[in-house]
Amino acid sequence: MTTVKFYITASSLPAGIAGTSYSQQLAYGRPPYTWSITGGSLPGGLTLDAGTGAISGTPTTAGISNFALQVQDQNGATANGAFSVTVL
């Protein structure tokens, strides 16, 4: 059995500020990993890098966004998590 080795320390990610650059790394370890959004959506202006697990961009609107992510390793093992980002 293959274990997906990645680290997510909390389901609530650091807050962002509308109009200010934002970056949060979700995964550390040895790629390749494939990240995907499986439910909900990121705040407007932010994107998920499917290869690195980085969420980045410049949020455009204040509010709370809830979303679900999945990560898959090179052997097909998967892990899932629910997250939220508050933009002030």
Determine the pLDDT at residue 11: 57
Mean pLDDT of the chain: 80
CA-based nearest residue to 65, from 73, 55, 75, 74: 55
Determine the pLDDT at residue 12: 66
Positions in the chain whose pLDDT score sits under 50: 1-10, 28-29
Q: In degrees rounded to 5, what are phi and psi of residue 48?
A: -105, 125
Q: In degrees rounded to 5, what are phi and psi of residue 42?
A: -75, 160
Determine the pLDDT at residue 47: 93
CA-based nearest residue to 79, from 48, 17, 43, 34: 34
Q: Which pTM value belongs to this model?
A: 0.74
Determine the pLDDT at residue 24: 81
